Amino acid sequence: MKIFPAIDLIGGKVVRLSEGDYDKRKNYSLSPLEAAESFRLSGATHIHIVDLDGAKSGNADNAGVISQIVKKFDMFAEVGGGIRSFDSIQRYLDCGVKRVILGTIAVKDFAFAERAVAKFGNAISVGVDAKDGKVAINGWKEITQIDSLQFCVKLKNAGINHVIYTDISKDGMLSGTNLAIYEVLCQTYYPAITASGGITYIEEIKKLKQMNIYGAILGKALYENKLSLEEAVKVAESD
């Protein structure tokens, strides 16, 4: 299982949100480059970066700092937030990003997601952000009536091999993740799922690994020193 420590960006600075609420954000003093360096020193080989400004605006607002991170550190980088055109996808891939995450655009224009995976293959992932089982879009500000699990099936059938599933109610709350939903996803819906949202305890890493989850994104638990990244990486990569 791959561990993806997360860097969420607003105005070029590292932040964490609670339940996806931009009004419930905590700013951190370390720079994005310092955060990435600390992750690398703790053994991380993968990194998850989100342009939260872009998620709302639909523009690559933090592309500059993201490019700096990707070019400086030898890690597998996946990036999301406001990526809604082939030009945006190509720009990130050209700077060294390995996988680009589509969010709102995959919901609003599913044909675009299909064209993207046809063109870019496994460099495309889709983030399925769910609240009460319904898909959320536009920086989690808008809750649709689309069933999140059914949407995952639709993505799988379209040939999209990587999905990041986030339970918004758990995100940033330091109260644990929704293990039950990942068990359902692994067994019934999706073979290559990345768990995101509220992962706080090393036991959760162990359980996700037992489910054969592809990856786990760690955020606030790292920044608040509730979870050791070094230990999480060791557990995830153990035989």
Q: Write down the residue that tokens 């059914």 correspond to.
A: 150
Residue 8 is a catalytic residue = yes
Catalytic residue among 51, 53, 61, 129: 129
- Compute the half-sphere exposure of residue 213: CA atoms within 13 Å on the CB side of its CA: 28
Which residue of the set 8, 51, 53, 171 is catalytic?
A: 8
- Among this protein's residues, is 94 annotated catalytic? no
HSE of 163 in the Cβ direction (CA atoms, 13 Å)? 30
The residues annotated with a catalytic role in the active site are 8, 129
